């Protein structure tokens, strides 16, 4: 499967970001990032419910993380 140009650009951005040690904050500047709402998976139950609904009703699924197995709905 050919990877579209857009995806190549984002991968490039991500690799640049990881290579650039000037991006980021000092350890004591993480007070905003420490807020529960700022976690990447802030609401796991909501996310699990949404993933289940969209897995049952749409052809694409997941991508966020793993977690569980399937159901008989698709």
Partner 1 sequence: MQRAAAAPGDPQSYPAAPDVFIEQRDGGLVAACFFAMASPCELLLDTGDLEQAQRIGLVAAGEAARIEAKFSRYRSDSVVSAINRSAGTTVELDAETAALIDYAARCYELSSGLFDITSGVLRRAWKFDGSDRVPAQSEIDALLGLVGFDRIDWRAPHMTLAPGMEIDFGGIGKEYAVDRALALVEAQSDCALLVNFGGDLRTNRPPAAGPWRVAIERPDTDREARLLLDVTQGGLATSGDTHRYLVRDGVRYGHILDPRSGWPVRDAPRSVTVAAGSCTEAGMYCTFAMLNGAGAEELLERAGVPFWCLR
Partner 2 sequence: MQLKRPNPPLRLGLMAASCALLGSTSAKAQTATDEKQPWQVDTAFLYYKENAGRLQTIEPIVNLKKDFGDQRILDGTFILDALTGGSPNGAIPSRKPQTFASPSSASITPKAGAKTTLYTIAPGNLPQDPNFNETRVAGDVGWSQPIGIDNSLSFGGHVSTEHDFTSAAVNAAVSHDFNSKNTTLSAGFNEEYDQISPRGGTPVAATDYTLLERQANKNKNVAGALVGVTQVMSRNWLAQLNYSYDRSQGYLTDPYRIVSVVDGSGSVTGYRYESRPGSRVRQSLYLSNKVALGPTVLDVSYRRGKDNWGVNSDTVDTHLRFDLGHYVYLEPHLRWYRQSAADFYHLYLNQADPLPTYMSADPRLAAFTATTIGVKFGIKLSHIGGLSLRLEQYQQRPTDRSSPLTQLQGLDLNPGLKAAIVQIGWQQEY
Q: How far is the CB of 53 from partner 1 (least distance, A)?
A: 39
DSSP label at 27?
A: G
Cα(62)–Cα(64) distance, rounded to whole angstroms? 6
From 2, 29, 36, 69, residue interacting with partner 1 (rule: CB under 8 A): 29
| Encoded tokens for 18 | 């990881």
Span from 11-19, 22-30, 51-59, 66-74 in contact with partner 1 (CB under 8 A) = 22-30
Do 33 and 25 meet the contact criterion of CB atoms below 8 Å apart? yes
Number of residues that bind partner 1 (CB under 8 A): 4
Query: Per CB under 8 A, does 21 bind partner 1?
Result: no
């Amino acid at each position: 499967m050919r990877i579209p140009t857009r995806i190549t650009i984002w991968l490039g951005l991500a690799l640049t970001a990881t290579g650039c040690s000037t991006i980021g904050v000092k350890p004591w500047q993480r007070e905003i990032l420490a807020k529960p709402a700022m976690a990447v998976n802030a609401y796991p139950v909501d996310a699990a419910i949404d993933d289940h609904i969209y897995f049952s009703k749409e052809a694409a699924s997941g991508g966020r993380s793993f977690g569980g197995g399937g159901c008989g709905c698709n």
